[in-house]
Structure 1
Amino acid sequence: MRTHSDIRGIFAVMRKSCGYLFIFVFHVFAERNTRLRAFEVPSGTLNTRNSSNVLNRFYVYNHYKDDVGHHRSLANKFKDNGAKNGLTKFSDLSFAEFKELYLSDLQPSVKPFNHTRIIPVQQLRKLPIPDRLDWRTYLNYSIISPVKNQKKCGGCWAFSTVETVESMVAKATGNAPPNLSVQQVIDCASNNAGCEGGDTCRALSWMVDSKTPLVSDALYPLTDESNFCKIEPNDTKGTQVKDYQCYKHVSEDKVLQLLQGGPLVAAVDATTWYNYQGGVIQYHCDAFVNHAVQIVGYDLSGEVPYYIVRNSWGADFGHDGFLYIKIGENVCGIASEISTVLVYA
């Protein structure tokens, strides 16, 4: 028969065990809530879906799980193409969302054309040009302005053209590149659709034909959305584009020769850049252009020759905002639409 002392001891053990159990359950639920919070969606960001937090968490969790699997699959598929692919800052987007936000902003004047002419590296190296050219370092100063970020504005056509105007001003004057207004071009360039898309050749044509000077970003700052034009050409002082040339479906030896005069505007296929982390893109990139960039140089000295390409997705993309594309096979449609820019000194 148990004594009162024994019973008190049993209850003491039970209380202690319950305490441990409570602590264990508390930690389990705390960890569960922490994980759930990782998949919570801020209010208003999924207003087209069911507003239930539980359903939102379920959607985001499953999207994240599927997207991780998708990225890993692509990384394995592309592991031999020279470029490093995997999770990037775009990994929280489905591919459909990425395409809508970043690949629908170019309305090219060229028809899709899979120009697959291959130029052997040996032939390219016989061109009367340097083996390497990088306009970030070629002179005693850089003629390339800091990498910009178009965010959710579909204005790549404006970014790439303005960036190249900045570079050509720096080359002509010997000074650092100015910070010109991309927003002015987004709002004012006729025959384009602002953040809904445009064409690089039409943008340059507007700069030349309208004789509209480009003002500084400080005077006409970036808002990342389309608006009405706030500048009257006759009342504006700024940088004026003297001339431009737009080349369609050129050979890549021509692209390399054009680069001797300065950086180039280029229309490209950026579909596979969703996963780009670094290295040289060599395959799995077609010629159906949907994005615009600036080519700032090249390197023919290595086993795989490549262009140095500046993007407008921020400095946290690729190599500090830049990427490399193989030369010789029109990878990513790099030779589909190329433009040169001439400015008044």
Structure 2
Amino acid sequence: MPLHSPYQVYLSRRSHFRKSQASHYRHAKFSGPKMNVYHLYTVAMATVFAVVAPSCCQNASWDEELKHLNSVAGDFTPFGGRSDLVYKDLYLRAIPEHAPPFFGSKTKEMPAKFDWRDRAVVAPVQNQQACGSCWAFSVVGAMQAAKAIAGMPLEELSVQQVIDCCFQNGGCNGGSPTKALLWLQRTRMNLVPQSEYPYKAKNGMCHFFSHPKVGVALRNFTTFDFSGQEEAMKAELVERGPLSAVVDAVSWQDYLGGIIQHHCSSHWPNHAVLVVGYDATGEIPFWIVQNSWGTDWGNEGYVYVKLGSNLCGIADSVAAVLV
């Protein structure tokens, strides 16, 4: 392939664009699917290569490169080449459960910014791949963080164990974080390290460990609806650790970066995530949310959601765990 072939130029410009937008659009508005800068840039680049390049870059490999380019033109996000229906069917498989409204005492003043990642208790971003296991990643992420907050070493626990063994849920076909937590509480199942029970992104037979030497069991958990009470949700995060939450992520398919401020409904909770912090130091306060779609998505695997408006339904069903 020529050094300055259209496809290489595309990859180079795509890489430069992604790096620049990660910082430049950190506080930019996100206007929902098909309307953000990532999508507009994809359309513009595809137009340039399809219309302009053939007239100035005639060579034997152009047809092959154009086919390659077209196959990855949507590769700005991990879902660029998937239809909306496939995206929803594969990745939005969390099942919401009704959570009682939070009726706690008046919230004391919280710090303007708090991020559990700064305390080294949040494991790296994972990738659920083509498996509707977000519910398991969310629960396991909260448990391994709680374990580290309790003074034990931070380690990745087995998501596959929850997928295979929590029969109240459907594994890769979807599930409820609340049902998973109830199962963990009732069975006192000891979650083993991921190295002992690796992730396979598919349903499998449950492997039982009669006397696991390592791992952690769930002692207790709470689930509340914090809609209209996100200040109290901030206190829950600071006092209890990263929170498992079920959101409406239909509009996240094309998310590049910045703070989601508009066009993110809360009508159809469908995806489970891990809320690890918040930042209210700037003009737009936002939640810091770890996703399970790999580091190529969003802000290296994270999404920022405006705080205070229950955007994406982020406060509707929130669980804290105790190990």
TMscore range, shorter length: 0.7 to 0.9
DSSP 3-state at the match of 2:238: helix
2:82 aligned residue (93, 112, 130): 93
DSSP 3-state at the match of 1:278: coil
Partner of 1:243: 220
- What amino acid sits opposite 1:168 in the alignment? A
1:29-60 deviation digits (Å, cap 9, x = unpaired)? 542343235457xxxxxxxxxxxxxxxxxxx9
User: For structure 1, which runs of at least 5 residues remain unmatched after alignment?
Assistant: 1-26, 41-59, 69-85, 116-123
DSSP 3-state at the match of 2:272: strand
The answer to whether 1:106 aligns with 2:73 is: no
8 A Cα contact 2:246 2:269, kept in partner: yes
DSSP 3-state at the match of 1:257: helix
Deviation at 1:127, TM superposition (A): 4.6
Deviation at 1:249, TM superposition (A): 4.9
The answer to whether 1:230 aligns with 2:179 is: no
Distance in 2 (CA, whole Å) between partners of 1:274 and 1:202 is 26
- What amino acid sits opposite 1:129 in the alignment? M
Partner of 2:125: 147
1:34 aligned residue (28, 43, 65): 65
DSSP 3-state at the match of 1:276: coil
Q: Which structure has the bigger radius of gyration?
A: 1
1:215 aligned residue (184, 192, 208): 192
TM-score w.r.t. the length of structure 1 is 0.70
- What amino acid sits opposite 2:145 in the alignment? S
- RMSD value, Cα: 2.4
Distance in 2 (CA, whole Å) between partners of 1:169 and 1:110 is 26
TM-score w.r.t. the length of structure 2 is 0.74
Partner of 1:47: none
Change in CA separation of 1:194 and 1:174 when aligned onto 2, cut-off 3 Å: closer
Partner of 1:280: 259
Distance in 2 (CA, whole Å) between partners of 1:165 and 1:320 is 22
- Quote the sequence identity (%): 39
Distance in 2 (CA, whole Å) between partners of 1:226 and 1:291 is 18
Partner of 1:169: 147
The answer to whether 1:270 aligns with 2:249 is: yes
Deviation at 1:258, TM superposition (A): 0.3
Change in CA separation of 1:319 and 1:340 when aligned onto 2, cut-off 3 Å: same
DSSP 3-state at the match of 2:292: coil
The answer to whether 1:311 aligns with 2:271 is: no
The answer to whether 1:293 aligns with 2:273 is: yes
- What amino acid sits opposite 1:109 in the alignment? E
- What amino acid sits opposite 2:115 in the alignment? D
Distance in 2 (CA, whole Å) between partners of 1:295 and 1:32 is 45
Partner of 2:32: none
1:134 aligned residue (115, 127, 149): 115
1:85-108 deviation digits (Å, cap 9, x = unpaired)? x942321112222112111x1111
Deviation at 1:235, TM superposition (A): 3.5
The answer to whether 1:327 aligns with 2:307 is: yes
- What amino acid sits opposite 1:193 in the alignment? G
Change in CA separation of 1:179 and 1:87 when aligned onto 2, cut-off 3 Å: closer
Partner of 2:3: none
> Which runs of structure 2 are paired with 1:17-96 in the superposition (5 Å)?
30-39=61-70, 87-96=76-85
Distance in 1 (CA, whole Å) between partners of 2:199 and 2:149 is 24
1:202-226 deviation digits (Å, cap 9, x = unpaired)? 1111111001100011111100001
User: For structure 2, which runs of at least 5 residues remain unmatched after alignment?
Assistant: 1-57
Partner of 1:338: 318
8 A Cα contact 2:288 2:302, kept in partner: yes
Distance in 1 (CA, whole Å) between partners of 2:139 and 2:68 is 42
Change in CA separation of 1:300 and 1:34 when aligned onto 2, cut-off 3 Å: closer
- What amino acid sits opposite 1:197 in the alignment? G
Distance in 2 (CA, whole Å) between partners of 1:102 and 1:30 is 36
- What amino acid sits opposite 2:157 in the alignment? L
1:199 aligned residue (154, 172, 176): 176
Change in CA separation of 1:28 and 1:229 when aligned onto 2, cut-off 3 Å: same
8 A Cα contact 2:226 2:232, kept in partner: no
Distance in 2 (CA, whole Å) between partners of 1:102 and 1:244 is 25
1:287-338 deviation digits (Å, cap 9, x = unpaired)? 1211000000011121111000000001111111111100111000001100
Higher RCO, Cα 8 Å, sep 6+: 2
Distance in 2 (CA, whole Å) between partners of 1:304 and 1:260 is 20
